[in-house]
Structures are given as C-alpha cells and as structure tokens.
C-alpha cells in the first residue's frame, strides 16, 4: 500500500469521532457510547509517533483481512505471524514479509517484541488463546465470538476482570457509523417505544472450503462441526443479538427455537437453518432467522418502534406518521377521479383492498455510506472493522480499555450459545443465573 494511501486511511480512522459529531455533538455521542472515548482525535494525539507492535495468531482468510487493515494503520507495526497451517502462514508472509513467523502461538507470546496479539482462529481456540495471551502480559484482540461454551465465556470474562491488559472482542457494529447514529436516534425516541425486533441473515453458500487431504477436513471446515463451532449462532447471530440488546438497553430473559439441517446434507453437524424467539421481560421479542440455502432477503436488523422502524444494516428508517392512509380501493377511486382510468375494472374479484401502505425512506446518515448484504464469509469494507482494529492498536500504546466492549461481546455470545442450546433441547430456556454479570440488565 502506498504511503499516501496509508496516511489517507489513518487520517480517516483518527477523525472517526470528529466526523460523527454532527449527530448531536461529540460529547453527547461519547456519553452514550463510552467505548469510543479512547478513540477521539485528542486521544490519538497523545500517542504521537509511537507504534503498537502487533502479532497475528491465525492467518487464514479473516486473519489476512485484518492483516491488510492493520498494515494501513500509522500507529501499528506487524512484527509477528503465527499459524500451524503452512499455506495460510505462507500467504500472510507474502503480505508482510518483514514479520517473524511462528507455528506455535505460545512461542509468539514469549516474544518481548510483541505488545498485542490479534487472534483470528477457529472459535474453539478463542478462549484458551485469549487466556494465554493475557497471562503472557499481552494486550489481546480476538475475533467473535468470545468462546465456544458458556463456561469458557465466564473464564475469559473473569480473567479480564483481573488483568491490567487490554482485551477487545471484535464487535465491529459498535464502531459502524450507521449503527452509532441509528442507536442514538432510537434512544432519543425518534421511533417511539421499541415494540419488537426482527433480525435475519440469509446466504446461499455451503460454508465449505477446499480440503487438500481428508485428515484436514475438520481443521479447515471447522465451522461445520459442534466441537469447533456453534454454526450460524456464533458466526452470524452474535452480531445481531448484540445490536438488539443495544437498542433495548437490556437483555432478553428467555429463548425458544428450532434448528435443522434442511439443505446441506453433506455430513455437517451444525444447523443450516435456525429460527428463534428471544423474549424480554416486558414482552418484547427478538424474532431471529438465518439460513444458508437462499440469499434473497440478505441481512437486516430491524428495530420496530411505535412511531417508526429502524433498518440498521441498510442504514434507513421509516416513520409511521408519514404513511399514506388510503386503502388500495380508495387510491383506485381517487385515480379514476383524476381520469387516470376511464372506468372501474369489471372483474371486481381480482381487486381487493390493500392495507399495507408505502413508507417514506430516510437515510440514517447523510452522504455516502456503505451497506453490505452479508454475503461475504471474510468481511465487508467500512463495517467498523478498521475502526475497532485501529482503536485496539491505539490501546496497545495507551493501555486504555475500550469501555463495555468485552461486556457487550460476553452478552451477545452467551445469548447466542443459549439460543443454540434451546434449539438442541427443544425447550424454552431462561438465562442462567450463574452466567449473569453485573453489566447485564434484564429489565
């Protein structure tokens, strides 16, 4: 990447909060999103010309995506790469040939040349690698979800409570401009009381990757097996459950659902279709649906209010008081009166009153903004990933934790895991007392 491009990217990251100030003033934004306080332009000035020395643990597709992003950050330097799968490590070395390479992450953690590590490995490795990283005195950034089990989530959270090191879990929507402004609108009362939440994520992809040798099947296609992954819930739903709790300002207390392998009957264990209902204490529900054999609907997070609807993923909102109040037959009669038609159609049975009216769309943010339909298995540009990585690298220098990031990740991950357990058991499950943390509110 050219030096000019690098500086342009870095300038964009450093101006992130400043550019969001028009929402209702920078101070108001920071009051409602405290994790951004360590990422302001003033904070960026404090680090001057210092660089965070970053080591990468896991250099597969997502690892390489993060590697490109970190190499574009002016206050970061990639000094180490680690992977126990040679093709991935070789690919990463070609991206960053100056970094020292490792095949054992514990050896990387012993290096005094590494300030912080970015973990982009399969889910079943997240907890142990995070715990080892913190114990080794490294700042840690780990991809979502936090861990494979509820017990592991609690272990990571407890370790975080007892360390002076910085821990980030990749909940990039917390750094996405659409979501930041949309949430501020929701909490200001723009769409009234939140009366429902509807999220979905549809793809048409088998999730499989080529396997050069049979013994590598589970290593490469780890997403498909229970011992390594929780499938759609941890890979996709965790992001959207975090958004739903953010909008409501508290967590649902129970969940019921169904999960099945509907289409990809290829030996996988995890569901390719899930439908769940999470219920809050006030009766509001999250209706969640995901499947990977049809991509027509794409991805969306809809926050349904008594006065409007916020479509956060697509960056649009709609207000109830702007909806037309004429039924389909009334509109037709009006059009006849305006001589649009010469007469009423004779086949009356083919015409029925229409009750759904057109809503006027409004952009959540002004100007150009990025929207993804959620089809990529690696990542999407301008979805907050660059910003949260830059914040972490800055935190490696200052030692200042992004407030609430770990707690939001814990909440989202444990809810995703609970939903998966509800589907497996075929029962309605309540959030277990032993996994509640002080940050979580249920009413």
The CATH class of the 3-174+383-398 domain is alpha beta
Radius of gyration from C-alpha coordinates of the chain: 24
Task: Give CB contacts under 8 A, 24+ apart, made by 25-34.
Answer: 28/184, 29/180, 29/184, 32/183, 32/184, 32/187, 33/174, 33/180, 33/183, 34/403, 34/404
Quote the tokens at residue 47: 């680090």
Q: Specify the residue for token string 């943010």.
A: 365
> Which pLDDT score is estimated for 36?
87
Phi (first) and psi of residue 222, to 5 degrees? -60, -30
Distant-in-sequence, close-in-space partners of 406: CB < 8 Å, separation ≥ 6: 157, 160, 167, 168, 169
Q: What is the pLDDT of residue 328?
A: 52
Cis omega before residue 145 (within 30°)?
yes
How many other C-beta atoms are found inside a 10 Å radius of the C-beta of residue 245? 22
Q: How many CB atoms lie within 10 A of CB 187?
A: 13
- Rounded to 10 deg, the angle between the 238-248 and 405-425 helix axes is 120
Torsion of CA 125, 129, 130, 133, to 10 degrees: -170
Residue 136 has a pLDDT of 98
**CATH number assigned to the domain covering 189-312+405-435:** 3.30.360.10
Burial class (CB in 10 A: 0-12, 13-18, 19+), 345: exposed
Gap between the terminal Cα atoms of the chain: 49
Quote the pTM value: 0.88
Query: What is the rounded distance in angstroms from the CA atom of residue 144 to the CA atom of residue 121?
Result: 10
d(CA 426, CA 92): 43
3-state SS class at 360: coil
Question: Residue 20, by phi and psi: left (phi above 0), alpha (psi -120 to 50) or beta?
Answer: alpha
Q: What is the largest CA-CA distance in the chain?
A: 84
The strand pair at 194-202 and 299-305 is best described as antiparallel
Write down the pLDDT at residue 315. 95
Q: What is the DSSP letter of 204?
A: B
Spans of all domains in the chain? 3-174+383-398, 189-312+405-435
| Residue 380 three-state SS | coil
Are residues 152 and 227 in contact, defined by beta-carbon separation less than 8 angstroms? no
Q: Minimal CA–CA distance to 52: which of 76, 30, 33?
A: 76
Sign of the alpha-carbon dihedral angle for 394, 397, 402, 406: positive
Q: Which of 113, 114, 146 is nearest to 130 (CA)?
A: 146
* Per-residue pLDDT tens digits of the chain, which is 443 residues long: 444 444 443 444 445 555 554 333 456 666 778 898 877 767 777 787 899 999 999 999 999 999 999 999 999 999 999 999 999 999 999 999 999 999 999 999 999 999 999 999 999 999 999 999 999 999 999 999 999 999 999 999 999 999 999 999 999 999 999 999 999 999 999 999 999 999 999 999 999 999 999 999 999 999 999 999 999 999 999 999 999 999 999 999 999 999 999 999 999 999 999 999 999 999 999 999 999 999 999 999 999 999 999 999 999 999 999 986 555 555 555 455 444 443 333 344 444 444 456 899 999 988 777 787 778 767 777 788 999 999 999 999 999 999 999 999 999 999 999 999 999 999 999 999 999 999 999 99
């Amino acid at each position: 990447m050219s030096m000019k491009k690098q500086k342009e990217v870095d300038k964009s990251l450093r101006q992130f909060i400043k550019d969001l100030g028009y929402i209702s003033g920078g101070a108001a934004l920071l009051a409602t999103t405290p994790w951004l306080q360590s990422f302001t332009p003033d904070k960026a000035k404090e680090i001057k010309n210092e660089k965070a020395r970053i080591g990468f643990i896991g250099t597969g597709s997502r690892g390489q995506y993060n590697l490109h992003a970190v190499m574009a950050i002016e206050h970061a330097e990639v000094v180490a790469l680690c992977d126990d799968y040679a093709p991935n490590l070789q690919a990463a070395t070609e991206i960053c040939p100056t970094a020292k390479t490792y095949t054992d992450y514990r050896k990387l953690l012993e290096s005094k040349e590494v300030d912080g590590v970015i973990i982009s490995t399969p889910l079943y490795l997240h907890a142990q690698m995070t715990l080892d990283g913190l114990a080794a005195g490294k700042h840690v950034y780990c991809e979502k979800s936090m861990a494979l089990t509820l017990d592991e989530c609690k272990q990571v959270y407890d370790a975080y409570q007892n360390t002076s090191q910085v821990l980030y879990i990749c909940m990039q929507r917390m750094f996405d401009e659409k979501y930041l402004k949309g949430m501020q609108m929701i909490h200001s009362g723009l769409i009234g009381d939140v009366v429902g939440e509807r999220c979905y994520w549809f793809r048409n992809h088998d999730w499989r990757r080529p396997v050069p040798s049979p013994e590598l099947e589970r290593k490469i296609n780890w997403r498909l097996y229970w011992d390594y992954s929780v499938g759609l819930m941890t890979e996709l739903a965790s992001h959207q459950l975090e958004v739903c709790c953010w909008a409501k300002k508290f967590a649902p207390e129970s969940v019921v659902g169904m999960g099945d392998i509907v289409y990809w009957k290829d030996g996988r264990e995890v569901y390719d279709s899930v439908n769940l209902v999470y219920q809050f204490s006030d009766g509001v529900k999250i209706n969640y649906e995901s499947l990977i054999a049809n991509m027509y609907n794409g991805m969306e997070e809809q926050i349904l209010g008594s006065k409007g609807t916020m479509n956060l993923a697509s960056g649009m909102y709609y207000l109830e008081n702007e909806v037309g109040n004429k039924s389909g037959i009334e509109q037709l009669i009006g059009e006849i009166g305006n001589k649009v038609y010469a007469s009423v159609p004779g086949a009356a049975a083919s015409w029925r009153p229409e009750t759904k009216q057109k809503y006027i769309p409004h952009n959540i943010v002004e100007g150009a903004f990025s929207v993804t339909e959620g089809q990529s298995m690696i990542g999407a540009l301008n979805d907050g990933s660059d910003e949260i990585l830059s914040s972490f690298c800055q935190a490696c220098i200052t030692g200042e934790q992004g407030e609430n990031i770990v707690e939001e990740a814990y909440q989202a991950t444990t809810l995703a895991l609970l939903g998966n357990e509800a589907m497996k058991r075929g029962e309605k499950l309540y959030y277990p007392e032993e996994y509640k943390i002080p940050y979580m509110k249920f009413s």
